Amino acid sequence: MVEVKVPQVGESISEVQIGQWLKQEGDWVAAGDDLVDIETEKASVQVPAPEAGFLRNIRVPADEFAAVGDTIAEIEPAPQPAGGSTAPPSAPAATPERAAAPEPARGAEPAPTPAPHRAAESNGAEEPIVMPAAQRLLSEHGLRAEQVPASGPGGRLLKEDVVAFVGAGGAAAAPSAPAPAGGGLVAAASGASLVTAGSQRGEEVKPMSMIRRTIAARLVEAQQTAALLTTFNEVDMGPVMELRKKYKDVFVEKHGVKLGFMSFFAKAVVEALRRFPAVNAEIRGNHVVYRHYYDIGIAIGGGKGLVVPVVRNVEQMSFADIERAIADYGRAAAENRINPQDLEGGTFTISNGGVYGSLLSTPIVNPPQSGILGLHAIQDRPMAVNGQVVIRPMMYLALTYDHRIVDGREAVSFLRTIKETIEDPARLFLEV
């Protein structure tokens, strides 16, 4: 057997969380095929098969933790079966002898459950071997293993079987217990709240993902170590929207990427950071470090949560370069392919809660940075323009900054620079 071990994924990383197993136990895999997603404190990576053969003995199920170097599965070296079948050459058959294995003595310590386990028997018939991911789905939908047709090797019940069964309209069997009297209501004790007999009041406990734990720790660190303050303004998005509408087709034809709002804000942020360098600086001990480069973190919602990949040297990039970089990061985040080095560094961050419908928020600075710009939803609102009330597409802007290094005057002026640049995009090209 060839062991599949947790690889070294970073100098400071000693523990990972097992994500989704991409192959099932018993599948034949080629050397280099991705077997499982693992999550680190910074990103998700895939573990490839070290050798071609059948995947055996998955030791660590999804959502559990493992140390770097731990063996999480084994591969039985073998050539690919004829006809491309992924079934093992000699899958263990279900036999009466296996079904009649003696039960442990009453009070004895139960044996550890292997990754694939056999469901409880009923009416003397042997149940299918249930894979861990399938068992979780069965529990979520209130199903029993015998209700779902199994298609895996050796009669294994796979996650895909449960998904297909539920998608085809399969439902849990109706409970046979008689309904309590009293109009279908149950009272636990005198004065207790009444609960309908069919209500779901269960709880589910899941381990916090590695990425979520890191995000939580950094946000708490920011709140505890920095003097955070937020200032607000609003911007008329009409000029940028008109510019995008006028040139969107030509832009896509020439550059192969859509012209979005984020490139305008990234350019506006660079201009504002040039004028107010303290917002681009950081505190190191008793010193202030002023950076003369502009690496902008762009907050992106990914498959495992919010990530902030960094677009580096934005001051040297064109609108098309920025849009391509953001689009590439967006696809990588959706597929959990963000690399740890993509998240490192950054001198300032832009977070767009408007894509989720947020009207106003107070974003939290990503330490050791000193500022973050929050963008929000665009809404038509009545505005006074040249003595007339007109309807304009308006967006609220929020700048959260570290008051230890950035004064209120600088913060307000910084945000006003963003507003003036977006409301008159020609400034980006004329450098005024």
pLDDT tens, position by position, 393-424: 999 999 999 999 999 999 999 999 999 999 99
β-sheet bridge partners, residue 195: 186
Q: Which CATH superfamily is domain 116-169 in?
A: E3-binding domain (4.10.320.10)
DSSP 350: E
By the 8 A CB rule, do 21 and 36 touch? yes
Which residues are the active-site residues?
A: 403, 407
- At 164, the pLDDT band (50, 70, 90 cuts) reads confident
- Compute the mean pLDDT over every residue in the chain, rounded to the nearest whole number: 81
- At 259, the pLDDT band (50, 70, 90 cuts) reads very high
- At 240, the pLDDT band (50, 70, 90 cuts) reads very high
What predicted TM-score, i.e. pTM, was given to this entire model?
Answer: 0.64
The span from the CA of 282 to the CA of 349, in Å, is 13
Residue 55's Cα: distance from chain center in Å? 27
By the 8 A CB rule, do 150 and 165 touch? no
pLDDT recorded at residue 196: 52
- pLDDT per residue as tens digits for the range 15-60: 888 888 999 888 999 999 999 988 877 667 889 999 999 999 899 9
Domain spans in the chain, listed from the N-terminal domain onward: 2-84, 116-169, 225-430
pLDDT recorded at residue 126: 55
Give me the DSSP letters along 271-311: HHHHH-GGGG-EEETTEEE--SS--EEE-EEETTEEE--EE
Q: Strand 71-77's sheet: what is its strand order? A: 2-5, 71-77, 53-56, 28-29
pLDDT over 80 (residue 97): no
Q: Which of 73-87, 138-152, 176-190 is least confident?
A: 176-190
Q: Which of 142-146, 160-164, 186-190, 328-332 is least confident?
A: 186-190
Q: Which residues contact 289 (CB under 8 A, 6 or more apart)?
A: 281, 282, 283
Domain 225-430 has CATH 3.30.930.10: no
pLDDT recorded at residue 211: 72
CATH number of 2-84: 2.40.50.100
